[in-house]
Structure 1
Amino acid sequence: MKRILLTGGGTGGHIMPLLAVAEKLPKDLEILILGSNIKNIVFPYKNVLAGKWRRYFSLKNFVDILKGPLGILQALWHVFWFMPDVCFGKGGYASLPGVLACWLYQIPIIIHESDAVPGIANRFLAFFANKVCVSFEQVKKSFPKKKVVFTGNPVRRQILQGRIFQKDKPVVLVLGGSQGAQYINEVISAILPYLLKRARVVHQCGPGKTSNITLPDYEQYEFIENIEDFYATADVVVSRAGANSLAEIASLKKPAILIPLPGSSFEHQRENAYVFAKNNAAIVIEQENLGPYLLRDKIFKLLDEPLTAQKMGEHAYDLNPANAAEKIVLEIKSLF
């Protein structure tokens, strides 16, 4: 039986795409997921230490310098006993130990870059990889031409199988990322009386960030665990511009208003968002320009112009089709 090592983790943004790829791998493959902060998943997994380098002063940088080499030693041990035929690295600091261990064992490597701007880890790991899969066409120029292939960003099967709720109003889904976004929460609170006259609002506020507002047609959650039904039902999505959120929005052809996270690494959220905006696949509002009434008017525009909203969703789908996981699996198979 052939074996594959999937490596990444650290945050949900790197774990979820690994799971999306794992779901599409042939059933006769033996799978091991190796990374950091991985828990409660259905596939076999091992955690190793991983050092994260922060681009600002932090005492944690000094601790993480030690974690890196120790994590590589742990990965060498796990990889030795599993000995995969191929390694798939999702990028991010948590993929470094597994990818480097596989390179030392001369195992073929394929990595994936989710964002419009490559991260530090993938810039480094591209030297060791046989193939580099990317989610944005323009990021191809950042990697060796003979290695790079556009696949899109993989989305979990669960996300694509949501059920549409019965509704008597349009639904606006507000997502601030897995940790929530206090500024977006405050703006939404300010325009709720206007929105609720026209729509039902489902709001992911973030851990500890829900308010005491109780109104008909307003639902707030710290984190929406099974978000697929809300995605399926939503008429408009208001979201940050992380790669996974964009892939989910695009795969479901949802019209979206994107508010990039200021100061994200290499401004990747801003770059991601403007790729969508330039292709008429989303509306972008910079957080510094995010006034309550501007957001209200943009939401109403999409509700009032269903044809515009539909075309926006279709343009988004063109940027990240729903079969990205299948495309990555084909590239993985080519290395066996």
Structure 2
Amino acid sequence: MTKKIVFTGGGSAGHVTPNLALIDHLKKDWDIHYIGSKTGIEKDLVEAQNINYYGISSGKLRRYFDLKNFKDPFKVLGGVMQAYFIIKKIKPTVIFSKGGFVSVPVVIAGWLNRIPVYIHESDITPGLANRIAMKFASKLFVTFEEAANHFPKEKVVHTGAPIRDKLLSGRKQVGLEFLGFKSSKPVLLMMGGSLGAKKINDVLRSSLNDLLKKFQVVHLCGKGHLAPEMEGLEGYRQFEYLNEELPDVLAASTIILSRAGSNAIFEFLALKKPMILIPLPLRSSRGDQILNAKSFKQKGFCEILDDDTLSEDQLIKTIEKVYHDRYEYIDRMNAAPNTTNGIEKILKLITK
């Protein structure tokens, strides 16, 4: 009898890519299905992998007043009903949720169908979707050990992050050739996320005159944030995002400047890349990235800069410090517990 699994999670790439990392390992032996929103980023990412995809109605879970808050609960209820009948038809062995608002109706529908539901939380504190969904879960997997304090003890298991295999097989020389960079000069990689990080983009670009004296800079600036006037600047390459080339570019990078999303920073940790983290500020987040960054700082893996007070001088000095002390950061990363076997632990628990 073929084992079947339903994945869910969406709203951002961070709620999808860990699922795809697990799916790569399950393709041979499992019949895989994915339930997500009708138009979210997860639809394109999942369908590109030729996986059975089902779109359902999903209302957004907001922490602020909005007139849509009055009608979105009905969308969630509609999504529960749609997911219920999809799951009843598939009859999966297990459901795996990575969070995001679309996952709530799927988790509830799985529970109603008496299917074991496993949830993975990337951050130290659970998002609103997982706070609701955890009541219906059989097990809760967490990336940060500190996250266990926010879940029922009898359900929580510390697994670490599911790291994509292909990220661990990047080739430095291939990355340098793709970028047109020299091997004799260090590479600074700036990643602002799929939507970009305008403040960091602006400060980085205004610092380039100084930075390019010591570094080559590859800048993943987000969709719609390219600066055409900077094309052709020696030692500087900019892209909205990278996909197939990313593992090689990561391998070619000496240090990384980034937001502090959990999936990304654990990938940098697995690759032993010293980091400067600029977490999303409270005005535009629930503070999860601030906690993620503080945890890494306490362990000696990174330095932190404040988005609100970020300046050219501060950015340049911190980049130079992290580069100068890069081997100390790498030594602390090497001494940390194994950070690349999150997939192995999760798969063992699922297949058990």
What one-letter code is carried by the residue in structure 1 that aligns with 2:273? K
CA distance in 2, matches of 1:310, 1:114: 23
Hey, what does 2:112 align to over in structure 1?
Answer: 104
Shift of 1:26: 6.4
CA distance in 2, matches of 1:83, 1:298: 53
Structure with more contact order per residue of length (Cα contacts < 8 Å, sep ≥ 6): 1
Hey, what does 2:268 align to over in structure 1?
Answer: 249
Deviations 1:209-247 (CA, angstroms, capped at 9, x unpaired): 111213101001112223111111110000000112112
CA distance in 1, matches of 2:326, 2:59: 47
- Say if 2:351 is the partner of 1:333: yes
CA distance in 1, matches of 2:350, 2:27: 11
1:193-204 counterparts in 2 under 5 A? 193-204=209-220
C-alpha root-mean-square deviation of aligned residues, in Å? 1.6
**Which stretch has the larger CA shift, 245-254 or 160-169?**
160-169
Unmatched segments (≥5 aa) in structure 1: none
1:131-280 counterparts in 2 under 5 A? 131-165=139-173, 166=176, 167-211=183-227, 212-214=229-231, 215-226=233-244, 227-263=246-282, 264-280=284-300
CA contact (8 A) 2:161 2:343 kept: yes
CA contact (8 A) 1:3 1:83 kept: yes
Deviations 1:259-288 (CA, angstroms, capped at 9, x unpaired): 001124420010111000011111111112
What one-letter code is carried by the residue in structure 2 that aligns with 1:78? I
Deviations 1:30-61 (CA, angstroms, capped at 9, x unpaired): 11111122223312221212111211223333
- Say if 2:47 is the partner of 1:28: no
Would the alpha carbon gap of residues 29 and 54 (structure 1) be closer, same or farther in structure 2, given more than 3 Å must change? same
- Say if 2:315 is the partner of 1:295: yes
Deviations 1:293-325 (CA, angstroms, capped at 9, x unpaired): 11111111222234224225436x64x711111
1:65-84 counterparts in 2 under 5 A? 65-84=73-92
State the TM-score, normalized to the length of structure 1. 0.94
CA distance in 2, matches of 1:246, 1:306: 16
CA contact (8 A) 1:9 1:94 kept: yes
Would the alpha carbon gap of residues 260 and 2 (structure 1) be closer, same or farther in structure 2, given more than 3 Å must change? same
What one-letter code is carried by the residue in structure 2 that aligns with 1:281? F
CA distance in 1, matches of 2:267, 2:280: 17
Secondary structure of 2:160's aligned partner? coil
Hey, what does 2:304 align to over in structure 1?
Answer: 284
- Say if 2:125 is the partner of 1:117: yes
Deviations 1:170-204 (CA, angstroms, capped at 9, x unpaired): 11000111110110011101210111111110001
CA distance in 1, matches of 2:104, 2:324: 47
Secondary structure of 2:78's aligned partner? helix
What one-letter code is carried by the residue in structure 1 that aligns with 2:36? G
CA contact (8 A) 1:117 1:266 kept: no
Shift of 1:291: 1.4
Identity %: 41
CA contact (8 A) 1:256 1:283 kept: yes
CA distance in 2, matches of 1:146, 1:311: 35
CA distance in 2, matches of 1:115, 1:199: 32
312, 321, 326: which one pairs with 2:339?
321
What one-letter code is carried by the residue in structure 2 that aligns with 1:120? L
Shift of 1:123: 1.4
CA contact (8 A) 2:5 2:94 kept: yes
State the TM-score, normalized to the length of structure 2. 0.90
Q: Which runs of 4+ in 1 moved over 6 A?
A: none
CA distance in 1, matches of 2:4, 2:153: 28
**Which stretch has the larger CA shift, 320-329 or 247-256?**
320-329
Deviations 1:68-114 (CA, angstroms, capped at 9, x unpaired): 11111111121111110111111121111211111001111111101
CA distance in 1, matches of 2:329, 2:211: 17
CA distance in 2, matches of 1:265, 1:102: 29
CA contact (8 A) 1:281 1:314 kept: no
CA distance in 1, matches of 2:187, 2:89: 50
Would the alpha carbon gap of residues 49 and 302 (structure 1) be closer, same or farther in structure 2, given more than 3 Å must change? same
**Which stretch has the larger CA shift, 60-69 or 103-112?**
60-69
What one-letter code is carried by the residue in structure 2 that aligns with 1:213? M
CA contact (8 A) 2:7 2:97 kept: yes
- Say if 2:319 is the partner of 1:311: no
Shift of 1:10: 2.1
CA distance in 2, matches of 1:309, 1:198: 20
Secondary structure of 2:9's aligned partner? strand
Count of paired positions: 332
